[in-house]
Amino acid sequence: MRLLVTGGAGFIGSNLVRHLLRERSQIEVVNLDLLTYAGDVGNLEALRGERRHSFVQGDICDESLVRDLMKGAWAVVNLAAESHVDRSIENPSPFVRTNVLGTRVLLDAARETGVSRFLQVSTDEVYGELPWVDPDSEVPEKPLFTETTPLSPRSPYAASKAAADLLALAYATTYGQNVVIARGSNNYGPHQHQEKLIPRVITKAILRDPVPLYGDGLHIRDWIWVEDFCAGILAALEKGRPGEVYNFGGGMERTNLQVVQAILVALNAPDGLIEFVGDRPGHDRRYGMEFSKARDDLGWEPKADFRSRLNRTVEWYRRRLRQ
């Protein structure tokens, strides 16, 4: 059973490819990635010699290449995306090209070649922001994003992902295409690009460099261990109902300040490294995912403990810096 995975040399993509090959012996993965700044073929080093994995460097906007790679594939899992909010603020153009136009190319090719299932991997950022609630408080009715929360993206990145989701759902309605969308909260774990919060803080703390933190540091994110999200993607691929959206959260809301402080503790680094800087434009105050639909429909739940997995992530980057 052959799958086309796009963006499979990136952070989530490379973890997903390894997860698929480990969990399903019958799966063969064709891995398409352009290897822009966030893609790294080194993330696939552990798969060297794996006969069920083949890597192709290429662009999801290349219609002939995409069509050729899809021939004979059972499903497509689209993780190819420009994903860094700060970069999208500086230049939205590549985000629209890859995230929207690239998704259109993939959808058309999947329809033309008879691919049975199209799984679009998305993000909680398409929903906008939630009211701020202290993550340590015992609020009984804490508002969370559900699959029916109206889309209200607040950055060019989030808008491009929302557009791609709506396009995929429109193809499901218009053409009867078998489309499923998996929206994940903030992933963390090995192989993440250094521009993201956790690897950036780990690297700077190891070097004892100042750790910049936007605004007051109280922006809240729901953190999900990347392996848990990969398990969710596989569950959505195999069990998700056509035309449906599934949220995947870690149930681990933390302020950015709490995350930074936990990393500093793990590295025995002083709080004095924290340097509060001017906030990012349109910085969403809080994300939090409600994932009962994934639990009920797919039998999925997050398993990872945030503190232990964060410490494991710290050690992974520490070893990498020593190499």
Catalytic residues, by residue number, are: 124-125, 157
| Residue 265 main-chain phi, psi, to 5 deg | -65, -45
Which residues neighbour 270 within 8 Å (Cβ) at sequence distance 6 or greater? Answer: 264
Which amino acid would we find at residue 234? Answer: L
Q: Residue 31: beta bridge partners?
A: 5, 55
CB 110 within 8 A of CB 177: yes
Task: Report residue 293 as tokens.
Answer: 């639909």
CB 216 within 8 A of CB 258: no
What are the C-alpha distances in Å from 76 to residues 71, 130, 180, 245?
11, 32, 11, 16
C-alpha gyration radius of the chain: 19
Which amino acid would we find at residue 203? Answer: T
Instruction: Specify the residue for token string 């994995």.
Output: 53
Q: How far apart are CA 179 and CA 169, in angstroms?
A: 7
| Residue 192 main-chain phi, psi, to 5 deg | -80, 145
Exposed / middle / buried, residue 67 (Cβ in 10 Å: 0-12, 13-18, 19+): middle
- Note the residue count of the chain: 323
The interaxial angle of helices 256-266 and 197-206, nearest 10 deg, is 40
Query: In the Cβ-directed half-sphere of 291, how many Cα atoms lie within 13 Å?
Result: 27
> Where on the phi/psi map is residue 156: left (φ > 0), alpha (ψ -120 to 50), or beta?
alpha
